[in-house]
Amino acid sequence: MTAQIYKTDCLPEKEQKKELFIRHLGEILKEKRTEAVLTAMDIHNFKLVNEIWGMRNGSRLLSIIVDQSLKVLGRGESISRFFKDRFYLLMLGPVNAIKERLESMRQEIEAEFVRCIGYPYSLVVSLGLCEYNEDMESGDDWLIRANYALESAERPVGDGFAVYDNAMRKNLQEVRKIEKRMQFGIENNEFRIYLQPQFELATGRLSGAEALVRWINPEAGPISCPDQFIPLFEKNGFIRKLDFYMMEQACRVLSVWKKQALEPVPIAVNISRRHIGEPGLADRLLEICKVNSVPPEYIEIELTETFELSENETLMKALSTLKKAGFSLALDDFGKENTSISLLREACFDVIKFDRSFLAGCIEDERARNLLDSMLKMVKKLGIKTHVEGIECREEEALLKKYQCDRVQGFYYAKPMPADMLTNYLPKT
């Protein structure tokens, strides 16, 4: 038997072929093929390849990958593709020998693509390897481990190779533990809303608060920090439930303030980009507001994961719908990633929240100060409020006052706190 191709480019056959490949992996496990290695291969930022060199050359790159893979695959080995730029290779032999074959293949893919476009270009091809292990329960389990190794290979540190090991195994076990507890956490109020105050810089007046999630067991304390579980929830789709849950909590807080005759301030609620383009989202958020007698004007929708937003028509329409419904919109973490400046022109944001990185080095570095000053002025000229996060000292505050920043938040003013503690900042109506 020569190398097999499990081609999975379209639906519904895509899922059928995926299941076929997983069954094939299961058969390998049953046969106890101890020399078998599953490799997950990904082209980092494949979308950028399409943007720079065109869709036609992007398609040619995928063909090159298949052709070069088949050249290194032998009898009893196979290749499959489930996603746009992710391939899976089942190979036989010692893992070190397979790494050599894969490195040769990776070099040939890059060389052939350069010949194709006629211009030097460095592709980033990442590979995550997982050897046969008798403790794997299914082909799907094997696939999960290979994908987990690929995630490690895609990190900035390293040579683009990663082999699933005991450390990854422990991390993956922790991930699965967290996943099993997700729904229980929602149902038993383990996810808590914390609020970090936001202030008008010119007056020092409380202008709002950002809703932040904490996962806390009443008996055992914190279960996991947001930096760990939020990316996981983004991947497995649980973020949708968490988004609605936090929206409900924010509305309940606003409702309580009203009952206590306190003057409320808007609460900023994060909504994942993976969720925000869903049909009916605005209606669902409005319904949550209505149930709690909260006007939508008291909710500021913060968009996370804003990268590539301007290129997604569905998301842009969703933002427009939310704006028309009465919610204010904030672009969070501006400058943290490769956020497109075109967002400021194309999207209907009311507030731009500058990431802490804009402040880094500003006290000592004139160029950093000039950049911050220029960016703040540009945003204000567009009629958008400016907001800087992560203020940690008086010198940073003074600098932002000089540059006429509108709003600020950070540890210099207040740390995130339980919602009931924020009442100390609210005046009576």
Cα–Cα distance measured from residue 308 to residue 294, given in angstroms and rounded to the nearest whole number:
32
Same domain, yes or no: 68 and 195: no
Give tens-digit pLDDT for 397-417: 999 999 999 999 999 999 999
In a domain, 170, yes or no: no
Work out the number of other CB atoms within 10 angstroms of the CB of residue 2: 10
Same domain, yes or no: 136 and 242: no
Work out the number of other CB atoms within 10 angstroms of the CB of residue 165: 12
Same domain, yes or no: 75 and 159: yes
Mean of the pLDDT values across residues 227-238? Answer: 86
Looking up residue 412, the CATH number of its domain turns out to be: 3.20.20.450
pLDDT at position 391, please?
A: 94
Mean of the pLDDT values across residues 86-102? Answer: 93
- Looking at mean pLDDT, say which of 252-256, 301-305, 314-318 comes out highest: 252-256
Sorting pLDDT into bands at 50, 70 and 90, what band is 3?
A: low
Phi, psi of 221 (to 5 degrees): 90, -160
Burial of residue 314 (CB within 10 Å: 0-12, 13-18, 19+) is exposed
Work out the number of other CB atoms within 10 angstroms of the CB of residue 80: 23
Same domain, yes or no: 230 and 142: no
Torsion of CA 272, 275, 278, 280, to 10 degrees: -70
301: number of CA atoms within 13 Å, CB side?
A: 31
Mean of the pLDDT values across residues 177-196? Answer: 90
Mean of the pLDDT values across residues 379-406? Answer: 94
Give tens-digit pLDDT for 121-150: 888 889 999 999 998 989 999 999 999 999
Mean of the pLDDT values across residues 258-282? Answer: 89
Residue 302 structural domain:
175-425
In a domain, 143, yes or no: yes
Same domain, yes or no: 128 and 194: no
Cα–Cα distance measured from residue 239 to residue 250, given in angstroms and rounded to the nearest whole number:
16
In a domain, 357, yes or no: yes
Out of 98, 131, 164, a domain closes at 164
- Identity of the amino acid at 320: S
Out of 164, 186, 201, a domain closes at 164
Same domain, yes or no: 141 and 190: no
Give tens-digit pLDDT for 345-361: 666 899 999 988 888 88
Cα–Cα distance measured from residue 247 to residue 108, given in angstroms and rounded to the nearest whole number:
50
142: number of CA atoms within 13 Å, CB side?
A: 26
In a domain, 327, yes or no: yes
Cα–Cα distance measured from residue 109 to residue 332, given in angstroms and rounded to the nearest whole number:
38
Phi, psi of 23 (to 5 degrees): -60, -40
Cα–Cα distance measured from residue 162 to residue 146, given in angstroms and rounded to the nearest whole number:
9
In a domain, 154, yes or no: yes
Question: Which residue in 147, 17, 152, 23 sits closest to 82, CA to CA?
Answer: 17
In a domain, 169, yes or no: no
Give tens-digit pLDDT for 36-58: 999 999 987 787 787 788 888 88
Same domain, yes or no: 159 and 185: no
Cα–Cα distance measured from residue 327 to residue 299, given in angstroms and rounded to the nearest whole number:
6
